[in-house]
């Protein structure tokens, strides 16, 4: 689930909350899963992965990750990303373009301190996306971190990212590909809306 904190009351945010609730009501599993796509200018590669969106605070959309992994490197190299929900239970797609950056360190500290020790042990133990001999090694490193004691102190290589969309498309699938598409674009602080052909 996604937590809404002081969420913006601008029109695309109201529509987002409606669509989110419809997906939840329709029994969508892992409704918080969002595909974040980045471009790394150094490697010249586009890459995509699903993350768990944790909360939306005003217009900041927040998830947590390893700060040394490939996606953090891509965000450093190019701050403009795309973010994409697809809820199969309602055949609804939400496409966003946004700027991404790290959240303040204190916010990551507070979030980490309140997580389950088991999740924190993994965050501490794992060098995300680095090669490892086997899955058994992953489990071994994790158990060592869990048993080593304090799992409430956030390692500096782990924390939150926030993105703020300036483009939000609401796409709803319909019969014969007569899909409905409404786009909101933010310019000089104001959202404008238009319809697109399917």
Strands 3-5 and 55-57: parallel
* Residue 180: closest CA among 95, 89, 87, 92: 92
* Residue from 14, 110, 113, 132 binding a second copy (CB under 8 A): 132
What is the pattern of x (binds a second copy, CB under 8 A) and - over residues 69-98?
---------x-xxxxx-x-xx-x-x-x-x-
In the chain, the N- to C-terminal Cα span, in Å, equals 30
Closest distance to a second copy from the beta carbon of 88 (Å):
4
* Residue from 9, 156, 187, 195 binding a second copy (CB under 8 A): 195
Closest distance to a second copy from the beta carbon of 14 (Å):
19
The Cα-based distances of 122 to 52, 104, 169 in angstroms read 16, 22, 35
Closest distance to a second copy from the beta carbon of 75 (Å):
11
Question: DSSP 3-state assignment of 118?
Answer: helix
Instruction: Compute φ and ψ for 193, nearest 5 degrees.
Output: -125, 150
Q: Say whether residue 104 binds a second copy (CB under 8 A).
A: no
In the complex with a second copy, the residue whose CB is nearer, 9 or 178, is 178
The 10 Å Cβ neighbour count of residue 105 is: 12
In the complex, which residues of this chain contact a second copy (CB under 8 A)?
Answer: 28-30, 33, 35, 37-39, 44-50, 78, 80-84, 86, 88-89, 91, 93, 95, 97, 116, 118-119, 121-123, 126-135, 138-139, 142, 175-178, 180-181, 194-198
């Amino acid at each position: 689930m996604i937590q809404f904190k002081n969420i913006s009351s601008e029109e695309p945010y109201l529509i987002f909350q409606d669509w989110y609730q419809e997906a939840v009501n329709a029994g969508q599993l892992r409704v918080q899963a969002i595909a974040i796509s980045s471009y790394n200018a150094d490697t010249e590669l586009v890459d995509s992965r699903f993350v768990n969106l944790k909360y939306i605070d005003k217009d900041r959309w927040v998830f947590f990750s390893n700060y040394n992994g490939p996606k953090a490197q891509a965000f450093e190299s190019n701050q403009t990303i795309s973010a994409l929900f697809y809820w199969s239970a309602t055949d609804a797609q939400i496409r966003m373009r946004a700027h991404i950056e790290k959240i303040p360190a204190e916010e990551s500290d507070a979030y980490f301190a309140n997580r389950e020790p088991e999740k924190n042990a993994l965050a501490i133990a794992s060098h995300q996306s680095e090669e490892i001999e086997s899955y058994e090694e992953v489990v071994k490193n994790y158990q060592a971190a869990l048993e080593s004691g304090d799992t409430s102190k956030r390692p500096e290589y782990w924390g939150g990212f926030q993105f703020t969309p300036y483009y939000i498309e609401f796409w709803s699938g319909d019969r014969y590909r007569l899909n409905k598409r409404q786009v909101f674009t933010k310019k000089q602080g104001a959202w404008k809306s238009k319809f697109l052909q399917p």
